[in-house]
Amino acid sequence: MSIKDNYKAIQDQLPAGVQLVAVSKTHPVSAIQEVYDLGQRVFGENKVQELMEKSPLLPDDIQWHLIGHLQTNKVKYIASFIDTIQSVDSEKLLTEINKESGKNNRIIKVLLQVKIAAEESKFGLEIPEAKELFQHYTDGKFPNIEITGLMGMATFTDDEQQVKQEFLTLKALFDELNQLKTLNTLSMGMSDDFPVAIECGANSVRVGSAIFGRRDYSK
């Protein structure tokens, strides 16, 4: 299937009100432009360097989301243009984003990345840490950012029950925090598990390979 067919097929599976973040990491600017020309405006990248190389070559009205682990010392490189940082996993990082956001006279949107997977390797805040950080935010500690929601990745497994459990755990936290201050984005689900994520309450999905094809890391 072509990128165009893939994109249309994904769109057909998304209920109204579910945002699609097209994950373009490792794929060339030409492929991103192709999806842009089909109407997509929200794209996700996971590396600062790659984002900085590609973004100047593409239209200005793309809303870039950073979805990969972000080092504190790299926030300054993206603070002037990033729309949303989905991968906030420490208070130190949030403090830095708040600072750089202020310097740029912007309000950067962020999602707290919460660790819901059983795997040791996945980044993210533990649930109590996420609650504490959100509390500091509602107390007014980070005036230059807006926490718009939560992001999580399920375990990479065929066990759909487990995946569902993990997504529902994040949905429950989302509902709890949403009572303290309104949130609008629950980002869960990738190419292989986005239908389950939507069933569990996701209203934003991050889809890469199902649109752009498999990633080739050898290049």
Ligand X SMILES: *Cc1c(COP(=O)(O)O)cnc(C)c1O
Residues near ligand X, by CB under 6 A: 23, 25, 46, 67-68, 153, 190-192, 206-210
- Locate 40 and state its tokens: 């997509």
For residue 8, the minimal CB distance to ligand X (Å) is: 16
CA angle 50, 55, 59 (to 5 degrees): 155
35 or 207: whose CB is closer to ligand X?
Answer: 207
For residue 207, the minimal CB distance to ligand X (Å) is: 5
Q: Using the Cα atoms of residue 167, residue 68, residue 122 and residue 140 in order, give the sign of their dihedral.
A: negative
139 or 158: whose CB is closer to ligand X?
Answer: 158
Q: Are strands 84-88 and 204-207 parallel, antiparallel or unpaired?
A: unpaired
Q: Which of 56, 58, 101 is nearest to 83 (CA)?
A: 101
10 or 133: whose CB is closer to ligand X?
Answer: 10
For residue 123, the minimal CB distance to ligand X (Å) is: 9
Three-class SS state of 113:
strand
129 or 192: whose CB is closer to ligand X?
Answer: 192
66 or 79: whose CB is closer to ligand X?
Answer: 66
Q: Which of 92, 148, 101 is nearest to 125 (CA)?
A: 92
Instruction: Pinpoint the alpha helices (H) of the chain.
Output: 3-13, 29-37, 48-54, 75-78, 91-103, 127-138, 160-180, 194-199, 209-212
For residue 117, the minimal CB distance to ligand X (Å) is: 11
- Which residue has the closest beta carbon to ligand X? 208
Residue type, 22: A
For residue 33, the minimal CB distance to ligand X (Å) is: 19
